Amino acid sequence: MFILRNAPLSPDVAFIDINDIQRPANWLRLASVEEREAAGITEVPDPKPYDQRFYWGYDADGALIPKDHAQLVEQWTNQTRTTAGTLLTPSDWMVIREADNGIAVPADWRTWRETVRLAAGSKVFEIQQTTDTAGLAAYVTGADYSAWPSDPNAPVAVDSEEG
């Protein structure tokens, strides 16, 4: 990352250096280290990335600053329930049809809908069992959280070796 006057300097953007010289947008990419230094530009390592869903950034000692755990638990609990609702909504008409006309929801769909509700309940339970932001982040970014049951009409993956 390039710094000019204690502020980040974007590549491919024109700027005025410390000598009041207007530099074109491609100048940073073409200039040598010596030319950048003469223009008052220093290069520093890019800041370490962090997951903005869970952290505010780094403190002066380089430690992550976690967001409030209780608020995150509430947020991810709501998000999980919303995801489950989004998965179930397209098949709600079958439940309504059964209530209105007595035409039963197919067994595979009934089972799948229950599996989605159970998965959501399990995910909410695991979220609420976390005791800190790091634990919540580890669970939510892991494979278990992102896995949801496939609906009965989802195409079945074919193994290319059996093809």
The reported pLDDT for the residue numbered 160 is 58
Same domain, 36 and 79: no
Same domain, 19 and 85: no
Cα separation of 95 and 101, whole Å?
A: 10
**Which tokens belong to 95?**
């439940």
Residue 156 in this model has a pLDDT that exceeds 80: no
Mean pLDDT, rounded, of the chain: 93
* Residue 156 located in a structural domain: no
Confidence of residue 148 (pLDDT cuts 50, 70, 90): very high
The reported pLDDT for the residue numbered 88 is 96
Burial class (CB in 10 A: 0-12, 13-18, 19+), 132: exposed
Same domain, 37 and 75: no
Cα separation of 79 and 39, whole Å?
A: 49
Region 55-78: mean pLDDT is 96
**Which tokens belong to 91?**
């098949």
* Residue 98 located in a structural domain: yes
Task: Report, in angstroms and rounded to the nearest whole number, the Rg of the chain calculated over CA atoms.
Answer: 26
Same domain, 20 and 70: no
The reported pLDDT for the residue numbered 157 is 65
Same domain, 71 and 39: no
Give 120-129 pLDDT, tens digit per residue: 999 999 999 9
Give 8-65 pLDDT, tens digit per residue: 998 899 999 999 999 999 999 999 999 999 999 999 998 889 999 999 999 989 899 9
Residue among 149, 131, 43, 134 at smallest CA distance from 91: 149
Q: Report which residue type is found at 160.
A: S
Same domain, 112 and 76: yes
* Residue 72 located in a structural domain: yes
Percent of the chain with pLDDT over 70: 95
The reported pLDDT for the residue numbered 159 is 62
Instruction: Count structural domains, the chain.
Output: 2
Residue 116 in this model has a pLDDT that exceeds 70: yes
Domain region containing 72: 66-146
* Residue 94 located in a structural domain: yes
* Residue 103 located in a structural domain: yes
* Residue 52 located in a structural domain: no
CA 60 to chain centre: 25
* Residue 91 located in a structural domain: yes
DSSP, res 52:
T
In this structure, are residues 110 and 20 in contact, taking their beta carbons and an 8 Å threshold?
no
* Residue 154 located in a structural domain: no
Confidence of residue 151 (pLDDT cuts 50, 70, 90): confident
Cα separation of 54 and 137, whole Å?
A: 6
Same domain, 28 and 75: no
